Amino acid sequence: MIGKTRGQGVEILDDIRALPPAHAEGRRGRRGTGKVRITDVAKLAGVAPITVSRVLNAPDSVAAETSRRVREAINRTGYVPNMLAGGLASSRSHLIAALVPTIASPVFQATWEALTETFSGAGYHVTFGQTGYGGAREDELINTMIARRPDGIVLTGIMHSPSGRRRLIEADIPVVETWDLTPTPIDMLVGFSHEHIGEAVAEYLHGKKRIRIAVITAADERARRRAKGLAAAATRLGIANTLAPAVPMFVAAAPGTLGSGRKGLTDLLARHPGIDAVVCSSDMLALGVMIEAQARGIPVPERIAVVGYGDLNFAADTVPALTTVNVDGPAIGRLAARCIIDRAQGRSVAEPIVDVGFSIVKRASA
């Protein structure tokens, strides 16, 4: 074995600088991309392809000097691994599918940002599928997402459709449902109880001696459940029954806007002039209510208390400052990502079902 310095018959081509590699011309035009492949790097470094793979994916299993040579070859060739090939061979795509109503919802934004960031730090990319409010295209999207063989799927809310549930379970991909609670999650869960929020807000306003509470809500399933929780608590506390049979409600199109907040207050005032508190399904609606109240000369909170939801970055700076419900959106994103990353790395997930809770942020408006 003269001329070989290492074990198993690998040619060493130490000082060749081939950039682009010599064979590239021959390959281009038929199939393939004409790009540098792992074998090109391996030849230049004088190792087997699998060793290059290990340098990239399991650095601890390669000797320091070998690793150095391989890295140098990677730099010289400008090699960028092909994750399609890697994913196919290893059944690990390092891709995450997130199903969201729309990426343009201010309430969820901080969550998706944190989710993307946490996954990114662990070598994953996130692709978003928009289901639309109401989740119309959820089932269809699940199919096209599964086609990518993602290492995890993050859902907004609970998956209700039985066919969607079945598909997800059969696909055998880790799933995290978020932003809601259920005793029967598909797999993992990071959320909180919308009913409890409604109840807590009712109790808070009851404590503030408000007796005629109204609700302005976007046509969104979870917002409606908060309103239902509020109405139930109001009845229990004897609020709703004082004058009216139920909590007056104004339903606006999702997502809630400042304009629908204004319209909501106008409508409620016309129908129920005596209301002394308005609970909104988003801070934007609440801001609209406060602006409309100001335009009408109605003092907030003196005559009408206003409560928002989301604790968006403007809530502390409105006049008066907005009392609202804070949910730790970034924490939901981080925890959801952690669940999937832990599972992917074979670790057992410490808490597969997490209730992150919520808090009422007491400011001036209520």
Partner DNA sequence: AGCATAGATGGTAGCGCTACCATTTCTTAT
Partner DNA sequence: ATAAGAAATGGTAGCGCTACCATCTATGCT
List residues near its own copies by CB under 8 A.
31-33, 78, 80-85, 87-88, 91, 93, 95, 102-104, 106, 109-110, 112-113, 116-117, 120, 123, 125-130, 143-149, 170-172, 257-259, 262, 284, 287-288, 291, 294-295, 313-314, 316-319
Do residues 130 and 97 lie in contact, with contact meaning Cβ atoms separated by under 8 Å? no
Q: What does the alpha-carbon distance between residue 261 and residue 289 come to, in Å, rounded to a whole number?
A: 5
Q: How far is the CB of 23 from DNA (least distance, A)?
A: 10
Q: For DNA, which is the closer residue by CB, 84 or 350?
A: 84
Q: How far is the CB of 81 from its own copies (least distance, A)?
A: 5
Q: What does the alpha-carbon distance between residue 345 and residue 63 come to, in Å, rounded to a whole number?
A: 23
Q: How far is the CB of 311 from DNA (least distance, A)?
A: 43
49 makes contact with DNA (CB under 7 A): yes
Q: Measured in whole angstroms, how far is the alpha carbon of residue 233 from the centre of its chain?
A: 30
* Total number of residues that touch DNA (CB under 7 A): 39
Taking CB within 5 to 8 Å according to partner kind, which of DNA, its own copies, none is near residue 145? its own copies
81 makes contact with DNA (CB under 7 A): yes
DSSP state of 277: E
| Helix, strand, coil tally for the chain in percent (to 5) | 45, 15, 45
**Residue 275 token pair:** 């209301």
Question: Is the C-alpha dihedral spanning 317, 319, 320, 325 positive or negative?
Answer: negative
Q: For its own copies, which is the closer residue by CB, 49 or 129?
A: 129
Taking CB within 5 to 8 Å according to partner kind, which of DNA, its own copies, none is near residue 53? DNA
Helix (H, G, I), strand (E, B) or coil at 278: strand
148 makes contact with DNA (CB under 7 A): no
Taking CB within 5 to 8 Å according to partner kind, which of DNA, its own copies, none is near residue 288? its own copies
Which phi and psi (to 5°) does residue 219 adopt?
-75, 70
Closest CA to 339 of 138, 176, 160: 176
Q: For DNA, which is the closer residue by CB, 87 or 106?
A: 87
Q: What does the alpha-carbon distance between residue 263 and residue 266 come to, in Å, rounded to a whole number?
A: 5
22 makes contact with DNA (CB under 7 A): no
Taking CB within 5 to 8 Å according to partner kind, which of DNA, its own copies, none is near residue 107? none
| 273 CB-near residues (< 8 Å, 6+ apart) | none
Q: Say what angle helices 194-207 and 221-236 make with each other, to 10 degrees.
A: 40
Taking CB within 5 to 8 Å according to partner kind, which of its own copies, DNA, none is near residue 54? DNA
Distances in Å between the alpha carbon of 270 and those of 109, 157, 267?
A: 35, 35, 5
Candidate residues 7, 207, 245, 297; the one interacting with DNA per rule CB under 7 A: 7
Which phi and psi (to 5°) does residue 218 adopt?
-75, 155
Region from 8-16, 202-210, 243-251, 285-293 binding DNA, contact rule CB under 7 A: 8-16
209 makes contact with DNA (CB under 7 A): no
Q: How far is the CB of 85 from its own copies (least distance, A)?
A: 5
Helix (H, G, I), strand (E, B) or coil at 342: helix
Give the DSSP H/E element, type plus range, for residue 61.
Answer: none
Candidate residues 57, 127, 161, 163; the one interacting with DNA per rule CB under 7 A: 57
Q: For its own copies, which is the closer residue by CB, 66 or 130?
A: 130
137 makes contact with DNA (CB under 7 A): no
332 makes contact with DNA (CB under 7 A): no
Q: For its own copies, which is the closer residue by CB, 258 or 354?
A: 258
Taking CB within 5 to 8 Å according to partner kind, which of its own copies, DNA, none is near residue 295? its own copies
Do residues 51 and 62 lie in contact, with contact meaning Cβ atoms separated by under 8 Å? yes
Q: What does the alpha-carbon distance between residue 88 and residue 93 come to, in Å, rounded to a whole number?
A: 7
Q: What does the alpha-carbon distance between residue 191 and residue 126 come to, in Å, rounded to a whole number?
A: 20
Q: Using CB under 7 A as the criterion, which residues of the chain lie in contact with DNA when the complex forms?
A: 6-10, 27, 30-33, 35, 37-39, 46-54, 56-57, 61-63, 65-66, 79, 81-82, 85-86, 88-90, 92
